Amino acid sequence: MSLTIAVPKGTLLDESRRRLANAGLRLPEDVGRRLVLDDPESGARFLLLRPSDVPTYVEFGAADCGVVGADVLWETERSVSELADLNFGYCRLVVAGPRASGFHQGRPLPTFCRVASKFVRSAESYFAERDLPVQIIPLHGSVEISPVVGLADLIVDLVATGRTLAEHDLVIVDEIAPSTARFVVNPVRFRAKYEEVTALLERLQCDV
């Protein structure tokens, strides 16, 4: 029995490929437009997916396991087992606002302020925990322009270097949580393919 592994396209792809290679699984460098790739040597099958789809494939068992950012796990709330922090793809989920707003210097947030985000659930629970009624504005990209053009008062977004924030004259108001890549597995496949999954887990963790 060999493993079907969900791999996120985008920023985590290159490092995922390197970690998998160290674990003896070869995901080709040039994948072209293919989304399903087999490694004949190890027998592993890779599914190249949108990062936010990785937990879904794993929960349903279409993939046995996968690599995915913690931020995606918080947002999708799929029941998958988080077996390891792979310690790469470090970024932070933050609340940010325009420098001129003064929110970062302690000026209280207005009630019902407008918060634009791709991370709707994380944003909702952050403000709910603080008993602050806000209006969440779901967006799918370019969130950082929303305060500039007057769509939102605040954003909740991932920050890696902080350059994008700076370019739009935004500053961090609060850090919600740091995020890194995680190795996740379908809870039943953990049992059904115990030897394969734990062997891969061990080899992925060796490399830090």
Instruction: Write the CA distances from 174 to 103, 106, 136, 137, 178, integer angstroms.
Output: 9, 10, 17, 18, 12
By the rule CB under 8 A, 198 interacts with another protein = yes
Sign of CA dihedral 166, 168, 173, 178: negative
Are 67 and 16 in contact by the 8 Å Cβ rule? The answer is: yes
Of residues 145 and 201, the one with the C-beta less far from another protein: 201
As a whole number of angstroms, the distance between CA 183 and CA 186 comes to 11
Number of residues that bind another protein (CB under 8 A): 26
Kindly report the backbone phi and psi dihedral angles of residue 101, in degrees, each rounded to the nearest multiple of 5, phi listed first: -70, -30
User: CB of residue 189 vs another protein: minimum separation in angstroms?
Assistant: 7
User: CB of residue 23 vs another protein: minimum separation in angstroms?
Assistant: 16
By the rule CB under 8 A, 201 interacts with another protein = yes
* 70-89: contacts with another protein (CB under 8 A): 70, 79, 81-85
Closest CA to 24 of 1, 7, 43: 43
The letter for the amino acid at 191 is R
- Interface residue with another protein among 10, 60, 130, 178 (CB under 8 A) is 60
Where does this chain touch another protein (CB under 8 A) — which range of 16-24, 32-40, 150-158, 194-202?
A: 194-202
Exposure string of 142-168, with b = 16+ CB inside 10 Å and e = fewer, is ebbbbbeeeebbbbbbbbeeeebbeeb
By the rule CB under 8 A, 178 interacts with another protein = no
By the rule CB under 8 A, 190 interacts with another protein = yes
- Interface residue with another protein among 43, 50, 191, 206 (CB under 8 A) is 191
Binding site for another protein (CB under 8 A): 1, 58-62, 70, 79, 81-85, 182, 185-194, 198, 201
